[in-house]
Amino acid sequence: MLDIGLVDDQQLVRQGIAGLLAISGKARVVWEARHGEEALALIAQQPVNAVLADIRMPVMDGISLVKSLRSNNNRTPVLMLTTFDDAELFSQSLKAGANGFLLKDVSLEKLVSSLETIADGSTFLAEADMLQDYQQRKSVIELSDRERQILRLLVGGFSNKEIARAIFLAEGTVRNHVSNILAKLDCRDRTQAVLKAINDGFI
């Protein structure tokens, strides 16, 4: 029987998941939290085999919860549950140190088997199509040395004109490079590109 910590800001969701896990006979919810801060306090008082956490919550979200646990050297496995099939959330969960990522419409059987898998210390677990999509996104993003140089200057807040002066290129050429960078990173504007560059380590 696995002891599970459950973190979700919606009471009905918590009750539903707790009830289903009890029915399985293989896992039980031993404490519930409405957000990450409550979870940190509860896990310190009562360690569990695994934590089941929503991603989007007030006060402290699921990704911040995982980061806090890992920064405190707490290696408790964390399985992220979300209603959002979002590659960016998947990427952030992976980097934060989560052990799994599943959508909330997962079957009880899959949920229980996933909790058993991560509790055994297995590596990152997710639906096959999520992993494939993530790996494809990572593999196709290849920036040239020049594009990385320009991206670093974008992160530094430089305008196209300032970048052109700094690296001795025509402003139109810089503009073309920036357009290529946005396309490769699948970003709609410079701000989003800068955030992605910082979060995903492209600089």
| Domain CATH for 174 | 1.10.10.10
Cα distances (Å, whole numbers) of residue 180 to 15, 87, 142, 163, 164? 48, 21, 11, 15, 16
- Position 141 scores a pLDDT of 67
CATH of the domain at 31: 3.40.50.2300
pLDDT over 80 (residue 2): yes
Give the chain's domain count. 2
pLDDT tens figures, 84-126: 777 778 878 888 888 888 888 889 998 999 999 889 876 656 6
Domain assignment of residue 188, given as a range: 141-200
pLDDT tens figures, 152-169: 899 888 999 999 999 999
**Do 80 and 32 fall into the same domain?**
yes
What does the alpha-carbon distance between residue 41 and residue 140 come to, in Å, rounded to a whole number? Answer: 41
**Do 97 and 183 fall into the same domain?**
no
As to burial, measured by CB atoms within 10 angstroms (0-12 exposed, 13-18 middle, 19+ buried), residue 104 is: middle
What does the alpha-carbon distance between residue 193 and residue 186 come to, in Å, rounded to a whole number? Answer: 8
**Do 48 and 117 fall into the same domain?**
yes
**Do 66 and 124 fall into the same domain?**
yes
What does the alpha-carbon distance between residue 66 and residue 142 come to, in Å, rounded to a whole number? Answer: 29
Last residue of a domain, one of 121, 137, 153: 137
**Do 28 and 95 fall into the same domain?**
yes
Confidence bin at 134 (pLDDT 50/70/90): low
CB atoms within 10 A of CB 50: 23
